[in-house]
Structure 1
Amino acid sequence: MKRDAHIHSPFCPHGTTDDFEKYINKAINFGFTDITFTEHAPLPNSFTDPTPMQDSGMVIENLYPYIEKLKELKKQYASKIRIRIGLEVDFIIGYERQTRDFLNDIGPQLDDAILSVHFLKHNHTYTCIDYSSEKFLEFADTIGTVKEVYSLYYETVKESISSDLGPYKPKRIGHPTLVHKFQLAHQQKIDDHKQIEEILQLMALNDYELDVNGAGLSKKDCKEPYPPLQYVKLAEALKIPLVFGSDAHQVTDLHQHYDKIFPLR
């Protein structure tokens, strides 16, 4: 079974207007039998998106139209491909209660979901860690070093795994090495092997799936999947379910690098 379970949509405020049908038909043509649309969930009401355009998540008014559209498409394409209704939910330190309330409300309508870390908290302010290399390096200067950014990121991922977000908490952890996105920009060799290993062990202990994310291979300052292949192999050895995600924000990126990550599947 070929599955791509991390796909964005025309409802993504920082993506493209490529319609759902283009994604679905490409998936069918490429032999995929199971896909999940995982649009960025609305951010908590009281959270201020730190990105310049404040477009990290879907606006709340679009949430139910997104779900209703996918319900229609599930029925329309049921004989050709399995379509799962999903969200990519942000784990934000300090907003656990609001996130739990949101999941309790919307969870019954979802088939699938991803829990991801994009925002890091430092001294009561938040930074979007994957917005740009300039913002990343600025944040590193603010908190001290690039290594400290890595450590803060991994600690936040660990908290996302351990946090009680209720019965509808996503069971898949998104791109757990996203902090590598700008590694060729800062050009520092950070030894984070133990930290990644600890995250995978914590995931295995708590029965989480791994988002094996191909998008990093396409990023000019990364050039590797999230996580790198050696950790995909480690996750497999730990019996963590591996779920490919292209993290496509446009149709041209759908299924990106699937064959490099899973060459025999």
Structure 2
Amino acid sequence: MNAPPDRYAVIGHPIEHSKSPAIHTAFARQTGQHLTYERLPAEPDAFAATVATFFADGGAGLNVTLPFKTEAAAYADRLTDRAQRAGAVNTLARRDDGTLLGDNTDGIGLARDLERGLDTAIAGARILILGAGGAVRGVVPVLLEQGAAEICVANRTVAKAETIAHDFADMGTVRACPLNTEEDGWDLVINAISAGLGGEMPDLSPAIIARARGAYDMLYANVPTPFLRWVAAQGVARRCDGLGMLVEQAAESFALWRGVRPSTVEVIAALRQSGDPRTP
């Protein structure tokens, strides 16, 4: 009798339109892995209970998306070094002893997509990041490790950005500034403001993008995001949404769970061509 497939899922709120099931199903088919992958909705106050039930029912691993990444870090029994530094988790893996390992693959996913999808080198770059949420904590240390000359975290609540700057100050030059900064000279501007999911973006100064080599939105959709529409209006030709990051970070999660890293190029291309909504 064949063993049942291992069970995986993505948990978040909202989660109905997540592309993660399609991505991991494609990875499983590509690598010959026996598994299922589903969406796991959870109300904002029900993360712990939902996760406990999932793993008690035999679940093998979870991806974690908005708004639960920091809560997942507290929930895990053990964290990888990069998740510990980030204070945020996007991947939970059940180990052989029943404990949960928390990892953060956001940073490596972004770094791979910046260099592959946006064709923009991280080493030596001055980078402005808009927003200071859990995803930002996951990407700042990786960008610093890969040689970013300077990172500035811009946020409406500057104190929140200052906390991130303080926490990673030992890794390189990282500081905070207000979201309405007019400072220029950035090589790369990255949007990580989740409000953009609702089609809204705060007023930004055109100065921040005036000399940028590229712009990247960590969000993704079936049409250009508000941020990417704005940078296009400013004349920035090299721009990209976060679909590639989604697939790259998923591949890193898949490798943690299954011990094999799938190819991402074909999966990204298939999603680009699908025409389906690509909201988280």
Shorter-normalised TM-score: what interval? 0.3 to 0.5
Higher relative contact order (CA 8 A, sep 6+): 1
TM-score computed with the length of structure 1 as normaliser: 0.32
Structure with greater Cα Rg = 2
- TM-score, normalization by structure 2: 0.31
